[in-house]
Amino acid sequence: MSQDNLYFIHMTDTHIKAPGQKNLLNLDMTAKLRAVFAQVKTLSVKPAFFVISGDLAHEGDTADYQHLRAVLDEETADFNAPVFVALGNHDHRGPFREGYLGQTPEETAYYFEQTIDGLRLIVLDTEISSEGEKVEGRLDAEQLTWLKSVLATPAERGTILVLHHPALPNALRLLDDHLLTNPDDLAEAIRDTDVIGLLSGHIHFSSVGSFHGVPSAALAGVAFNLDPTTATSMRFMDSSGFNLGMVRDHHMIVQPMMLPGEHREVFRWEVDSALKPVAEQPVAIPDELQA
């Protein structure tokens, strides 16, 4: 018998800051996050849950996470749907645990599983925090072992994995140094399991592919987006995206949505090698603008 549709909202890269602090590119990330929720409220379907795939905060201070939690609690009150979050390279585990979870500020990796109406969501932590600020990601051995043990038992509707760093490169090979560095380990962990999709962020534009037969989507950010207009520049855009997800009969469908707006250019990064693979031509994005 065919299953009912289960809907969810995937957001990524909110890069939020507590009130009173200067925002990246002078954009109001809190207003942008609230605008996404306002748009979601206009949809004809109701999400069973929300998930945010990392770079929750830009600086990752405890106050940023307290602020994010307050905004999310307020914005989701009308939905009666939980919010799940993953950590990205801009996040800091200790302040996140203290400010968002109300726990002691431990630096341990933040990963978990949760089943919603038969769909299993597995949130992974691909941040490489022990080695300082890194744009690439990695799944450590402990998480991989845990992941395999969880996936040994299938879920009724299948499983979606959420990880900040994409497992796949994009077609233009932009930001090749921003990917998961051990995708083969992930492929091994999910082989012959019930995983029906991977959701990522980090690159701030949409790129969709098949990862060993599983749909993998890295999607537009809430805070800002990147537009590779020409071979010699990349534009930082004041735009916000989110994604309407649907699960039915062990299929995941993700529909990218952009908020109405000007899609205004707020910064242009000129670089001769913008579209060449990093392996050929190392590129340097200013630290402040790292995704």
Residues binding Fe ion (CB under 5 A): 13, 55, 88-89, 202, 291
Question: Which alpha helices (DSSP H) does 152-239 contain, by range?
Answer: 183-190
Closest C-alpha among 118, 180, 175 to residue 144: 180
Q: How far is the CB of 109 from Fe ion (least distance, A)?
A: 16
Those residues with Cβ within 8 angstroms of residue 220's Cβ, 6 or more apart along the chain or in another chain:
12, 204, 205, 206, 239, 240, 241, 242, 243, 256, 258
Task: Please answer whether residues 116 and 49 qualify as being in contact, where contact means their C-beta atoms are separated by less than 8 angstroms.
Answer: yes
Kindly state the smallest distance separating residue 184's Cβ from Fe ion, in Å. 22
Beta bridge partners of 264: 238
Taking the complex as a whole, the smallest distance from the CB of residue 96 to Fe ion amounts, in Å, to 14
Closest CA to 127 of 86, 158, 155: 86
Q: Which is nearer to Fe ion, 59 or 194 (CB)?
A: 59
CB of 213 to Fe ion, least distance (A): 26
CB of 209 to Fe ion, least distance (A): 19
Instruction: Say if residues 19 and 6 touch (Cβ distance below 8 Å).
Output: no
Select 81 or 258, whichever has its Cβ closest to Fe ion.
Answer: 258
Judged by CB, which is closer to Fe ion: 157, or 164?
164
Dihedral of the CA atoms 154, 156, 162, 166 (nearest 10)?
70
Comparing CB distances to Fe ion, the nearer of 13 and 64 is 13
Q: Residue 154 CB, nearest distance to Fe ion (Å)?
A: 31
Cα–Cα distance for residue pair 277/177, rounded to 1 Å: 9
Nearer to Fe ion, 193 or 240 (CB): 240
Separation between Cα atoms, residue 257 and residue 259, nearest integer Å: 7
What are the two backbone dihedrals, phi and then psi, of residue 93, each rounded to the nearest 5 degrees? -65, -45
The residue among 16 and 40 lying less far from Fe ion, judged by its C-beta, is: 16
